[in-house]
């Protein structure tokens, strides 16, 4: 059993990126040979030259919702609601039900009024439902708005839910919605972006395809785990918060064919990786949709992913543990003792020294 301290590292606060690089594909890219530990330095658009011509690139096409709502409680105080995922509503023609984070934590039957940000016009109210067992983090909230109208109103009222370590981002909501989103986002449902994919551009995509590389998509809606620290209990049980995913039959078949033919499967980001590794059954990838709580840790074998494009992650995070597993036994010849002593840990130290930019708006790694 691991401890959280085994996945810690020191990061100066000034290394946390507060805005993305423009153009997107000109961020820095570190390459790491996970077997030899060799590190090289590039810019992201060099990924075209680093990928083999017959590779299959798989990425997450989820779209970030403006899931942060600001309102006033019935007692007069301010309240912030962060949508986590939609639940079945008892009255969908009248009420839209979500699991939410609320700040401060709402009490059963407490009401919140949601106004237009530019006026005093009340759009709808929300009621903290007494019908569920509350966790220490979340609440079930019933929005007094029909499901057919809810997403339209969310676009009018909602704010992009940036991670708490980003404090100097642009204030304009439309700008935030553009920069905190991949260029290929399609299916709305995430409360955070799959940030490894934010370095791609339409022009870069075409260059990748021109090289003979197949680009495939899966969906995983990023949920509450992005905003909460890993708990010792989760680490012991090897289970994260559940997140909804979709893996189509056509995508599964194409990846299985690639694996059979010895082609590299390149996963863009940890969310894509979780979809692929969650659906390995009896020697092949199986099409499916539903939820996954897979928590990849050192000692776990990768069955589908051969190469990984990812950002630099927070200390003690599940994302760092996924990377640690990818760079250690049984996936390489190196045993894992702690992150700092691993090839990934040495790469992170080099990134700090060489002033790479970390986290959601930061630079990228290509691990092969």
Using a cut of 0.85, tell me whether the model's pTM lies above it: yes
Q: What gap in Å lies between CA 313 and CA 322, rounded to an integer? A: 10
Q: CA separation (Å) from 206 to 200, 202, 214, 265, 367?
A: 10, 6, 11, 18, 22
Residue-wise pLDDT tens digits, 159-197: 999 999 999 988 899 999 999 999 999 999 999 999 999
Chunk the chain into consecutive blocks of 10 residues (it has 368) and report each block's average pLDDT, rounded to whole numbers. Answer: 95 97 98 98 98 97 96 93 92 94 92 82 89 74 95 93 92 94 96 97 98 98 83 92 96 98 98 98 97 97 98 97 98 98 98 98 98
DSSP assignment letter at 269 = S
Q: What gap in Å lies between CA 156 and CA 141, rounded to an integer? A: 19
Tokens of 151: 């997403």
DSSP assignment letter at 340 = G
Cα angle 81, 84, 89 (rounded to 5 degrees) comes to 95
Tokens of 101: 């984070």
Residue-wise pLDDT tens digits, 115-158: 876 677 788 999 999 876 666 678 999 999 999 999 999 999 99
The domains of the chain, with CATH numbers, are 4-64+176-367 (3.40.1780.10), 68-157 (2.40.10.240)
């Amino acid at each position: 059993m691991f401890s959280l301290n085994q996945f810690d590292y020191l990061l100066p606060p000034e290394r946390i990126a507060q805005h993305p690089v423009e153009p997107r594909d000109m961020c820095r890219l570190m390459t790491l040979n996970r077997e030899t530990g060799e590190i090289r330095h590039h810019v992201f658009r060099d990924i075209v030259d680093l990928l083999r011509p017959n590779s299959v690139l798989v990425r997450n096409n989820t779209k970030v919702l403006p899931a942060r709502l600001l309102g006033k409680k019935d007692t007069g105080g301010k309240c912030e609601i962060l949508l986590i995922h939609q639940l079945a509503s008892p009255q969908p023609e009248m009420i839209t039900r979500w699991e939410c984070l609320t700040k401060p934590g709402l009490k059963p039957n407490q009401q919140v009024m949601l106004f237009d940000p530019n006026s005093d016009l009340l759009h709808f109210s929300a009621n903290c439902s007494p019908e569920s067992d509350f966790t220490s983090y979340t609440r079930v909230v019933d929005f007094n708005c029909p499901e057919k109208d809810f997403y339209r109103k969310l676009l009018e009222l909602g704010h992009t839910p940036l991670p708490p370590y980003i404090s100097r981002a642009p204030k304009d909501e439309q700008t935030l919605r553009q920069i905190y989103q991949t260029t290929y986002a399609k299916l709305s449902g995430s409360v955070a972006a799959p940030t490894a994919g934010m370095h791609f551009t339409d022009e870069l995509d075409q260059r990748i395809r021109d090289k003979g590389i197949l680009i495939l998509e899966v969906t995983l809606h990023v949920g509450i785990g992005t905003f909460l620290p890993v708990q010792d209990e989760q680490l012991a049980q090897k289970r994260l918060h559940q997140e909804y995913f979709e893996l189509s039959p056509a995508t599964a078949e194409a990846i299985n064919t690639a694996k059979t033919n010895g082609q590299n499967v390149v996963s863009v980001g940890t969310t894509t990786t979780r979809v692929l590794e969650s659906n390995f059954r009896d020697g092949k990838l199986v099409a499916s949709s539903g939820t996954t709580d897979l928590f990849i840790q050192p000692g776990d074998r990768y069955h589908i992913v051969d190469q990984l494009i990812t950002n630099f992650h927070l200390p003690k995070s599940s994302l760092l543990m996924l990377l640690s597993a990818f760079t250690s036994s049984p996936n390489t010849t190196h045993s894992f003792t702690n992150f700092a002593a691993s090839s990934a840990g040495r790469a992170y130290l080099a990134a700090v020294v060489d002033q790479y930019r970390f986290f959601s708006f930061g630079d990228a790694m290509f691990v092969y």
